[in-house]
């Protein structure tokens, strides 16, 4: 059966690349290797460019990107190598596939995509089944002015699962039907599965604190540096910019597989990233999270995941730095959720097979 996936698979973003590889792995194990549909989104592409001429008139932008250019170019090479190893891309039309899967990741976050409805599978279907696996809005609520349009797009799906309880509530409000909540694809792989995909960074025999941020947070860094003083452990981090300077060992060009290895071998993880949290939970790494303020309306991804595994006490400002999560209880729930999510993914594929046989 021909399966296509619509997501941010070609973005220079750790979470985007890793969730795409994980979903491809899971679909392949259940059926056949899927294809990722190529699609140019200018909003996303602008963030991935080595240099944007439209921004060159800003001297701070120019200086920063000249400083970062060599490392950014190497990082892009490593992302491309990762994609070449684990992903397949296609320029075919969506309707040439038996089933098209939107997700995972924040494919329904119109702020990220610039209101690009391609990620809502806005093509007119003839035979292909429109589905979503662990799709996310990345928002606590959607703009009322967009509700009617999004509702019409979502009602055209044949099978929907979302990544967060918050997203399930949004879909229910828009369509009157509450979808199942499925795990982010990165959880569908066990730590042993990820070990086969990750790089050897040489950090396996070292003790360190891994810091990973997707937005600057001085409280997060203050906590990490205090944890470093308490434990005597050095801080390692990855960054997109050489202008970000804290008391840490920086990697500016790590690929997705190296990023996984850095989390897998960390003594502690300090993060404000959804996938930083997800991999910490999956690898049973003691972690601490910094959540954005409720008013920002973008923290539901982390809050929902922490709540799902009774880990809300790991938030900076609340967490006891000496406490270790009860990973035995976490793993019991995670094993159950992994089985249920793989069952939902199999149902998506069966829906496509049923339609294809008609």
User: What per-residue confidence (pLDDT) applies to 53?
Assistant: 55
Place of tokens 């960390």: 266
If you write DSSP's letter for every residue of 253-305 in order, what string do you get?
S--HHHHHHHHHT-SEEEE--HHHHHHHHHTT--EEE-PPPGGGS--HHHHHH
Is the pLDDT at 56 greater than 60? The verdict is no
Equal fold, 3-188+338-356 vs 198-330:
yes
Locate the domains of the chain by residue range.
3-188+338-356, 198-330
User: What per-residue confidence (pLDDT) applies to 196?
Assistant: 84
Q: How far apart are CA 163 and CA 345, in angstroms?
A: 13
Q: What is the pLDDT of residues 164-214, one digit of tens each?
A: 999 999 999 999 999 999 999 999 999 999 988 877 666 677 899 999 999
CA gyration radius, the chain: 20
The dotted CATH code for 198-330 is 3.40.50
Q: What is the DSSP letter of 36?
A: E
- Beta pairing class for 180-181 and 209-212: unpaired
**Backbone dihedral region for residue 232 (phi beyond 0: left; psi -120 to 50: alpha; all else: beta):** left
pLDDT (mean) for 320-342: 96
Q: What is the pLDDT of residues 149-159, one digit of tens each?
A: 999 999 999 99
Across the beta sheet with 180-181, the strand order is: 89-90, 35-37, 3-6, 99-102, 129-135, 159-162, 180-181
Q: How far apart are CA 277 and CA 287, in angstroms?
A: 7
If one compares 300 and 288, the residue with the highest pLDDT of the two is: 288
345 within 8 A of 34, measured Cβ to Cβ: no
CA torsion sign, 233 to 234 to 240 to 245?
A: positive
User: What per-residue confidence (pLDDT) applies to 124?
Assistant: 85
Q: How far apart are CA 207 and CA 338, in angstroms?
A: 29
Q: How far apart are CA 141 and CA 72, in angstroms?
A: 34
If one compares 50 and 327, the residue with the highest pLDDT of the two is: 327
Tokens of 154: 């979502």
**Buried b or exposed e, range 128-151, using 16+ CB within 10 angstroms:** bbbbbbbbbbbbbebeeeeeeebe
Residue 24 main-chain phi, psi, to 5 deg = -60, -45
pLDDT (mean) for 218-228: 95
Residue 26 main-chain phi, psi, to 5 deg = -70, -45
Tokens of 102: 């939107």
Pick from 104, 29, 79: nearest CA to 257: 79
Interacting residues of 291 by C-beta distance below 8 A, sequence separation 6+? 272, 299, 302, 303, 315
Any idea what the Cα angle at residue 354 is, between residues 339 and 7, rounded to 5°?
60
CATH architecture label of 3-188+338-356: 3-Layer(aba) Sandwich (3.40)
Cα 277 to chain center, whole Å? 10
Q: What is the pLDDT of residues 116-160, one digit of tens each?
A: 999 999 998 777 899 999 999 999 999 999 999 999 999 999 999
Which of 52-66, 101-115, 140-154 bottoms out in mean pLDDT, i.e. has the lowest?
Answer: 52-66
Q: How many CB atoms lie within 10 A of CB 247?
A: 11
Across the beta sheet with 268-271, the strand order is: 249-251, 235-238, 209-212, 268-271, 287-289
Taking CA atoms, 162 is separated from 9, 106, 236, in Å, by: 18, 10, 33
Mean model confidence pLDDT for the chain: 91
């Amino acid at each position: 059966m021909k399966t296509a996936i619509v997501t941010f698979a070609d973005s220079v973003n750790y979470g985007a690349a890793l969730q795409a590889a994980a979903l491809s792995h899971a679909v392949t194990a259940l059926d056949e290797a899927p294809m990722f549909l190529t699609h140019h989104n200018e909003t996303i592409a602008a963030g991935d460019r080595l240099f944007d001429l439209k921004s060159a008139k800003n001297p701070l932008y120019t200086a920063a990107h000249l400083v970062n250019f060599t490392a950014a170019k190497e990082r892009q090479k490593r992302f491309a190598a990762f994609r070449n190893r684990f992903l397949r891309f296609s320029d075919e039309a969506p309707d040439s596939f038996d089933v098209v899967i939107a997700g995972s990741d924040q494919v329904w976050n119109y702020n990220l995509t610039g209101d690009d409805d391609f990620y809502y599978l806005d093509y007119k279907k003839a035979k292909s089944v429109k589905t979503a696996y662990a799709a996310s809005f990345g928002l606590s609520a959607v703009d009322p002015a967009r509700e009617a349009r999004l509702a019409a797009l979502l009602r055209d799906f044949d099978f929907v699962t979302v990544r967060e309880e918050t997203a399930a509530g949004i879909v229910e409000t828009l369509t009157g039907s509450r979808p199942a909540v499925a795990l982010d694809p990165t959880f569908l792989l066990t730590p042993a599965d990820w070990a086969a995909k990750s790089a050897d960074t040489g950090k396996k025999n070292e003790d360190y604190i891994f810091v990973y941020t997707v937005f600057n947070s001085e409280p997060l860094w203050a906590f990490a540096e205090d944890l470093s003083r308490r434990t005597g452990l050095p801080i390692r981090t990855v960054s997109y910019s050489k202008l970000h300077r804290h008391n840490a060992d920086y990697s500016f060009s790590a690929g997705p597989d190296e990023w996984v290895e850095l989390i897998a071998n960390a003594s502690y993880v300090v993060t404000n990233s959804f996938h930083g949290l997800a991999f910490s939970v999956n690898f049973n790494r003691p972690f601490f999270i910094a959540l954005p303020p409720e008013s920002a309306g973008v923290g539901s991804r982390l809050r929902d995941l922490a709540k799902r595994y009774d880990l809300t006490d790991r938030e900076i400002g609340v967490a006891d730095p000496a406490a270790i999560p009860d990973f035995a209880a976490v793993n019991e729930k995670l094993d159950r959720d992994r089985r249920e999510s793989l069952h939902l993914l199999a149902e998506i594929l069966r829906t496509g097979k049923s339609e294809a046989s008609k």
